[in-house]
Amino acid sequence: MSDEIIVLENLSKKYINKTEQIEVLADINLSVRERDTISIQGISGVGKTTLLNLIGGFDSPSSGRIIFQNEDITHYDETDMAKFRCKNIGYVFQSFYLLEELNLLENIILPALKLGLPRKDAVAKAMEISEILSLTNRLKHFPSEISGGEKQRAAIARAVINSPKLICADEPTGNLDIKHKNIIAQLLFKIVESNNLSLILVTHEVDLAARCTRRYKIEDCHLIDLNS
Ligand SMILES: Nc1ncnc2c1ncn2[C@@H]1O[C@H](COP(=O)(O)OP(=O)(O)OP(=O)(O)O)[C@@H](O)[C@H]1O
Ligand SMILES: [Mg+2]
């Protein structure tokens, strides 16, 4: 289908160390189209972050293929994958990974500068996104000077600055109270919908999963369709 953004074909992941082999994911098949919002639930340790790491090329699958807009990205080397990811996939990590030595504005514009956007244009874009995410008056602050919810919003701003086709968000409302969970969920969906992005959202929150157009869970290494 032409509007497919990413396709996972028979994706499997085993971690092999000296004494044992841990099978985490087996035969995962998923097709994400433009504007799909996909939620992935599952108990702690089941393989949700592992799956997002495979999609973003932070880790390689044991077998299977990852096709992004008709391009097989499964075996890209680290350098090619970093370039590809910067342009095409926005990541909101489970533990933010904001750079402590940069203020929020500098953190947010970093992926845009990496792609070669002039600083003036990157700043203008960051201002626009920060307005939507209510971060404008925190842009000069460093990560150590802001709250957890503000860090989460900054991580979302950084993930969307290059207008990637796909956002992968790993428990973006984890560790927040109900009020801030709702605010961040609202903002994330607003930014995804207003830019026609696709979203793969890992979450333990049933309410948040229910907002997605398609729901899945990982159980016993398999991706289970919860839509029917
Ligand atoms: N590098 C590794 N080597 C060996 N095992 C690993 C490695 N990374 C993760 N695992 C194991 O793989 C399994 C899946 O981990 P993963 O981080 O994907 O879980 P998760 O579903 O994201 O959990 P959580 O909800 O707690 O974030 C876990 O049992 C974990 O211990
Ligand atoms: Mg995880």
Domain 36-57+77-211 has CATH 3.30.413.10: no
Nearest ligand 1 atom, CA 50: 18
CA 108 → CA 17, 90, 96, 145, 200, distances in Å? 37, 12, 12, 16, 20
Q: What angle do CA 57, 58, 63 make, to 5 degrees?
A: 55
Give the binding-site residues of ligand 1, using a 6 Å CB cut-off: 15, 22, 24, 42, 44-50
- pLDDT tier at 2, thresholds 50, 70, 90: low
Task: Give me 135's structure tokens.
Answer: 């971060």
Nearest ligand 1 atom, CA 94: 27
Q: Are 113 and 122 in contact (CB under 8 A)?
A: yes
pLDDT, tens only, 58-116: 999 999 999 999 999 999 999 999 999 999 999 998 788 899 999 999 999 999 999 99
pLDDT, tens only, 143-175: 999 988 899 899 999 999 998 999 999 998 876
Alpha carbon nearest to ligand 1 atom 18, residue: 47
Ligand at shortest distance from the CA of 93:
2
Q: Residue 196's Cα: distance from chain center in Å? A: 15
Alpha carbon nearest to ligand 1 atom 14, residue: 47
CA dist 32 and 94 (Å) reads 21
